Amino acid sequence: MKLKDLSEAGFAGWSHLRPNEHRAEPHDIWKARRFIEEHAAEHISLAKVARTIGINFTHLSEKFKQVTGTKFVDYVARTRFEKARELLEDVGLRISEIAFTVGFQSLSQFNRVFKKLSEKSPSQYRAMNLRRRKGR
């Protein structure tokens, strides 16, 4: 699959990022998460999502954290990180391509978030997965 195809396909189907799936989720939070998942490769701001779903951005921020247990910006970063992890399995893609395709604004931001969430750099993560696959 080409990077263009991936960005056009969006991030639909990322429902596994739902920490409270056993409780009823407020509809506006569901809509916010869905918007993030579908538009993660684009520039996303709290204000843009709040406008899209029709609520005040301060209210969205507070309610999002309360319901999901995660701050808005952390949720966006994790959504992008999860997609990047998948793409790192394709050794034909450069790490910089992956970073920008999933929505990070800079390579340094991508590296920082990736290391924070996986305790490895994207290069280390890719190398570890390659060794693991060769060992099968």
Q: DSSP letter string over 58-119? A: HHHHHHHHHHHSS-HHHHHHHHHHHHHHHHTT-TTS-HHHHHHHTT-S-HHHHHHHHHHHHS
The angle at the Cα of 3, spanning 131 to 136, to the nearest 5 degrees, equals 20
The predicted model gives 60-64 an average pLDDT of 97
Tokens of 42: 């684009």
pLDDT at 24: 84
**Conformational region of residue 23, where left means phi above 0, alpha means psi within -120 to 50, and beta covers everything else:** beta
Q: What is the pLDDT of residues 8-61, one digit of tens each?
A: 555 544 444 444 454 689 999 999 999 999 999 999 999 999 999 999 999 999
Determine the Cα–Cα distance for residues 45 and 51; give it in Å rounded to an integer: 10
Confidence of residue 131 (pLDDT cuts 50, 70, 90): confident
pTM above 0.85, yes or no: no
Q: Quick one: average pLDDT of 55-77?
A: 97
Give the model's pLDDT for residue 111: 98
Rg (CA), the chain: 16
pLDDT tens for each residue of 75-96? 999 999 999 999 999 999 999 9
